[in-house]
Amino acid sequence: MSETLNLTRNQELVLKALLHSQGPLSAYQILDELRGEGLRAPLQIYRALDKLRDRKLVHRIETLNAFVACSCHADHAGETVAFAICEACGKVEEFSDEALQKRIGAWTREHDFLPARTTLEIKGLCAACH
C-alpha cells in the first residue's frame, strides 16, 4: 500500500509512526519514536510531514500542535476536514460534514470572503469518555 504511494524512507517512517499511534503526535514525539531508525533532527520530521500533508495523508491539529494520519473514508477533493478531539482519551475523529460546509460557504458568500482553507476543531468528550 505505502509502496504504491511512492513515499521516501523518511516519509514512510513518519506515516507509520502516526498510523501506529492511538492519538495525535507532535513532531518531536515522532522524532523520539524514530531515533532508533536513525533520524536525529526535527527538520527531518517536519519535511516528511510537509510532503505527507501536501498529499493529505496526514493532517495537522492546530489546537494541539500535533499531527494525525488521515482516516478519511472518502476523498479529500475540496472538502473541509473537521476534527472532534476527546480531551480525556486523546482520540481524534476526523470527519467531513456536507451541511456544515454549505453553511460555511453561505457565510463566506454573504460576506464576500473568498475562502482558501478552513480549520474546524471541536474539543470535548467522546462517546466512550462520558
Partner DNA sequence: CTCCGATATGTTATGACATTACATTTATGT
Partner DNA sequence: ACATAAATGTAATGTCATAACATATCGGAG
How many Å apart are CA 3 and CA 118, to the nearest integer? Answer: 31
Q: Using CB distances below 5 to 8 A depending on partner kind, what does residue 130 bind out of DNA, a second copy, Zn ion, none?
A: a second copy
Taking the complex as a whole, the smallest distance from the CB of residue 108 to a second copy amounts, in Å, to 7
Q: Is 44 in the site for DNA (CB under 7 A)?
A: yes
Residue 26 interacts with DNA (CB under 7 A)?
Answer: yes
* Closer residue to DNA in complex, CB, 39/86: 39
CB 74 within 8 A of CB 96: yes
Note whether 70 binds Zn ion by CB under 5 A: yes
Stretch that binds DNA, among 60-68, 79-87, 91-99, 101-109 (CB under 7 A): 60-68
- One DSSP character per residue, 13-76 reads HHHHHHHH-SS-B-HHHHHHHHGGGT---HHHHHHHHHHHHHTTSEEEETTTTEEEE---SS--
Q: What is the maximum alpha-carbon separation in the chain?
A: 53
Q: Single out the residue of 5, 102, 104 nearest to residue 58, CA to CA.
A: 5
Partner in contact with 105, chosen from DNA, Zn ion, a second copy, none, beta carbon below 5 to 8 Å by kind: none
Q: Which residues bind a second copy (CB under 8 A)?
A: 62-63, 84, 86-87, 93, 95, 97, 99-100, 103-104, 106-108, 111-127, 130
